[in-house]
């Protein structure tokens, strides 16, 4: 194991990590505002991946160009999910809401299984095997493109929350639910919008990650857990923390696969999840909520 | 018993008689479906003990089952240790795992959904380790030796014999779990658990040792799951980490109590006996549809069944979050209304 291998692993982990971070942003936004733990996270991501796959098959569309389409479609799915389903269980204890979303998650996974079958399918891009070489450092082109796309989408999201009126209103709901109601914000609509935005983010991440991995329905639970690891490492509800967590998990997974067997690298991130849950359940950048 | 109306008592007696007599009247197919029902009823009882009684959501119960199954299966294949002795090892290792998760979770004050994530994380972690454990077969699976002769007769010590024997074994387990939970729930500890579930701060304030009673719930539940693991290993005779410890298995365990009613005693049993036959009917229906050429031959039956489970859970949480059993009870007047109860 020489320095070049390690640096290569570091860079590719960093790039993949940005995509993880984008996907985790979706989870974090939904949790931070609606206080719902979206257990159907990875499932929505797999839906995004399959959408991008279909667009590629039918129209030869590069997954990067289908990002806006997938994001728009998943926005509608998320909006509907919050408006028609999740809103109705807000009076139930947390674990019942969790179970509801677990039920929805199973429906999505098995729906994908029925429609697309269990086999792994991917897109064949003409630049899939190209890479940039900087000295000894070799970086896959797809990874670079994926990371750039992830940064673009994440920046758009952060700008939206920081500067737009709707974004500010959503932050107001997250900070003080009662206060937001008192000043006359339509909290139900804002919640549905938030879920939609979160889902759009997840859909975009799904399109982008299709550049790097092949899609099959059973990816969904794995991605759900991965996003939880990322978000918990970064701090639930902290947007910047999600990106940071994504990079950390991406890098540590790559490093783990250099040191250990590649198939053990998921065990490594579950181990990390356990450690983080125990030592810092509010995450690295999260605040303690009381 | 004293809370039951006449109709309730009659229903209970009819159920007990039907369950005892089933192997004489039912076909082999119905018997094997009933075994799955009872298995899920038993596991539902164990899971419900944690969420329904003590308020701890676990989505990793397949971990305890898997540890029990692998422990007894390994001892049997490697050294020929009979399951009667293997069950002790299975319970011990499942409880040890429960103790680790519980201790870490409660000492570090991890609550609610985070606790559920902790159980998932442990369960997936162990599953991946088992994938790499060569001495347990890894991904190629661990197979328990079966001969034609071992499918006949009754050898309780080695858990080998007719399907009818497995039926009675799991019936006894399910009934035992029900009676145990009933005794615990109506006893002192049941009140402690429910106090902790409904308001941990208040319970702690009046002097209930929250840590101790939560630990007790986790240990008992994981131990029961370990016993179920032994049954699983010797009934199916093959163990794959993906199949035994997959997150689908953990979710499957939660279905019966959710449908029947979280926190009710009879809910898990009711849920298992409603869901499992429905799932079988659905499987049947789909293969008929395929035969008639209405849907494509390559549609995965498993996928449709899973979709139905997911739909059921979502529907129950949306419409009847307290579960079906309390509602059925009330509709059929099986239980006396609270005002008319005796001692």
Are A271 and B125 an interchain contact pair (Cβ–Cβ within 8 Å)? yes
Quickly tell me which residue has 């998320």 as its tokens: A78
| pTM over the 0.90 mark | no
Interface of B with A in 302-321 (CB under 8 A): 302-307, 309-315, 317-318, 321
Q: Please, which residues bridge with residue A160 across strands?
A: none
E strand or H helix at B238, and its extent? strand B238-239
* B143 to chain A, closest Cα gap in Å: 23
End-to-end alpha carbon distance in chain A: 46
Domain residues of chain B, as ranges?
A: 6-337
Give tens-digit pLDDT for B255-271.
899 989 888 888 899 99
Give SS3 for B249: helix
Cβ B231 vs Cβ B64: under 8 Å = no
Task: Give SS3 for B255.
Answer: helix
- B153 contacts chain A (CB < 8 A): no
Question: A100 and B254 in contact by Cβ < 8 A?
Answer: no
Q: Would you say residue B336 has pLDDT above 70?
A: yes
Q: What is the pLDDT along chain A (290 residues), one digit of tens a residue?
A: 577 778 888 888 888 889 889 888 888 888 888 888 888 899 999 999 999 999 998 988 888 888 999 999 999 999 999 999 888 888 888 888 888 888 899 889 888 888 888 888 888 877 777 777 777 777 888 888 888 889 999 999 889 988 999 988 988 888 888 888 888 888 889 999 999 999 999 999 999 988 888 888 888 888 888 888 888 877 766 778 888 888 888 888 888 877 777 777 777 777 877 887 777 665 555 554 43
* Contact residues, chain A, for B130 at CB < 8 Å: none
Task: Look at residue A171 and give its three-state secondary structure.
Answer: helix
**What is the set of domains in chain A, with CATH numbers?**
3-279 (1.10.3470)
Question: What are the helix (H) ranges across chain A?
Answer: 3-34, 41-59, 67-80, 94-116, 141-163, 165-175, 177-182, 187-209, 219-234, 239-259, 265-279
Show the tokens assigned to A24.
């985790």
CA end-to-end span of chain B: 11
pLDDT value of residue B343: 42
Question: Based on the number of CB atoms within 10 Å of its own CB, is A264 exposed (0-12), middle (13-18) or buried (19 or more)?
Answer: middle
Contact A107 B114 (CB under 8 A): no
In the stretch 109-128 of chain B, residues with CB closer than 8 A to chain A read: 110, 112-114, 116-118, 120-122, 124-125, 128
Is residue A221 a contact partner of residue B245, using CB atoms and an 8 Å limit?
no
Residues of A in contact with B52 (CB under 8 A): none
CB pairs under 8 A between A and B: 126
Q: Do A274 and B125 touch (CB under 8 A)?
A: yes
Query: Phi and psi (nearest 5°) for A11?
Result: -65, -45
pLDDT tens-place string over residues B34-84 = 999 999 999 999 999 999 888 888 988 999 999 999 999 999 988 888 888
Chain B residue with minimum CA distance to A86 = B318
State the pLDDT at residue B299.
67
Is the Cα dihedral A258, A260, A262, A266 positive or negative? negative
DSSP class of residue B109 equals T
A98 vs B113, B304, B315: nearest CB: B113
Q: What are phi and psi of A118, to 5 degrees?
A: -85, -5
Lookup: tokens for A127: 């630049």
Under 8 Å between Cβ of A242 and A285: no
- State how far the alpha carbon of A167 is from the alpha carbons of A73, A156, B151, in Å: 20, 11, 66
- List the single best residue of B283, B299, B318 to mutate versus A (max A Cβ within 10 A): B318
CA–CA separation, B244 and B233 (whole Å): 9
Spatial separation of the C-alpha atoms in residues B46 and B53, rounded to whole Å: 10
* pLDDT > 70: percent of chain A: 95
CB A100 within 8 A of CB A86: yes
A92 class by beta-carbon count within 10 Å (0-12 exposed, 13-18 middle, 19+ buried): middle
Structure tokens at B233: 């290993």
């Amino acid at each position: 194991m020489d320095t070049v291998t390690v640096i290569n692993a570091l860079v590719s982990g960093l790039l993949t990590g940005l995509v993880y971070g984008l996907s985790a942003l979706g989870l974090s936004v939904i949790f931070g505002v609606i206080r719902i733990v979206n257990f159907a996270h990875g499932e929505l991501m797999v839906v995004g991946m399959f959408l991008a796959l279909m667009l590629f098959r039918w129209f030869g569309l590069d997954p990067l160009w289908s990002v806006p389409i997938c994001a728009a479609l998943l926005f509608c799915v998320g909006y509907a999910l919050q408006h028609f389903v999740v809103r109705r269980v807000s009076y139930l204890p947390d674990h019942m809401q969790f179970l509801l979303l677990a039920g929805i998650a199973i429906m999505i996974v098995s729906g994908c299984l029925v429609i697309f079958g269990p086999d792994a399918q991917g897109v064949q891009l003409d630049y899939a095997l190209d890479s940039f070489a900087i000295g000894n450092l070799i970086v896959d082109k797809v990874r670079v493109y994926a990371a750039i796309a992830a940064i673009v989408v994440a920046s758009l999201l952060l700008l939206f929350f920081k500067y737009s009126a709707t974004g500010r209103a959503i932050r107001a709901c997250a900070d003080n639910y009662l206060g937001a109601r008192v000043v006359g914000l339509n909290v139900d609509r804002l919640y549905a919008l938030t879920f939609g935005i979160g889902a759009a983010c997840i859909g975009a991440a799904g399109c982008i990650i299709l550049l790097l991995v092949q899609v099959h329905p059973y990816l969904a639970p794995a991605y759900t857990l991965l996003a939880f690891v990322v978000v918990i490492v970064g701090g639930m509800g902290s947007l910047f923390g999600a990106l940071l967590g994504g990079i950390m998990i991406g890098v540590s997974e790559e490093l783990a696969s250099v040191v250990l067997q590649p198939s053990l690298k998921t065990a490594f991130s579950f181990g990390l999840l356990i450690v983080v849950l125990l030592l810092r359940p509010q995450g690295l950048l999260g605040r303690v909520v009381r | 018993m004293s809370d039951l109306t006449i109709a309730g008592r009659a229903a209970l007696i009819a159920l007990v008689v039907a369950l005892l007599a089933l192997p004489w009247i039912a076909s082999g197919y119905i018997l094997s479906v009933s075994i799955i029902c009872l298995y899920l009823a038993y596991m539902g009882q164990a899971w419900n003990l944690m969420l329904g009684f003590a308020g701890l959501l676990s989505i990793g119960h397949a971990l305890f089952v898997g540890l029990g199954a692998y422990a007894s299966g390994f001892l049997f294949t490697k050294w020929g240790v009979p399951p009667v002795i293997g069950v002790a090892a299975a319970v011990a290792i499942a409880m040890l795992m429960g103790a680790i998760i519980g201790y870490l979770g409660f000492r570090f004050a991890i609550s609610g959904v985070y606790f559920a994530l902790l159980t998932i994380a442990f369960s997936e972690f162990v599953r991946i380790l088992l994938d790499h454990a060569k001495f347990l077969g890894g991904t190629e699976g661990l197979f328990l030796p079966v001969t034609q002769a071992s499918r006949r007769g009754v050898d309780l010590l080695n858990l080998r014999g007719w399907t009818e024997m497995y039926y009675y074994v799991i019936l006894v387990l399910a009934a035992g779990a029900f009676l145990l939970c009933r005794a615990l729930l109506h006893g002192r500890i049941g009140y402690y658990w429910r106090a902790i579930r409904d308001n941990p701060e208040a319970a702690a304030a009046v002097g209930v040792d929250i840590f101790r009673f939560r630990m007790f719930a986790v240990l008992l539940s994981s131990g029961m799951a370990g016993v179920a693991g032994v049954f699983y290993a010797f009934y199916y005779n093959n163990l794959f980490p993906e199949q035994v410890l997959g997150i689908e298995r953990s979710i499957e365990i939660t279905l019966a109590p959710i449908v029947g009613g979280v926190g009710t005693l009879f809910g898990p049993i009711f849920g298992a006996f409603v869901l499992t036959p429905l799932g079988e009917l659905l499987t049947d229906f789909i293969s008929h549809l395929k035969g008639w050429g209405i849907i494509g031959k390559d549609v995965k039956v498993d996928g449709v069944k899973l979709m139905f489970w997911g739909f059921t859970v979502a529907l129950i949480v949306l419409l009847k979050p307290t579960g079906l059993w309390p509602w059925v009870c009330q509709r059929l007047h099986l239980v006396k209304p609270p005002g008319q109860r005796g001692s």
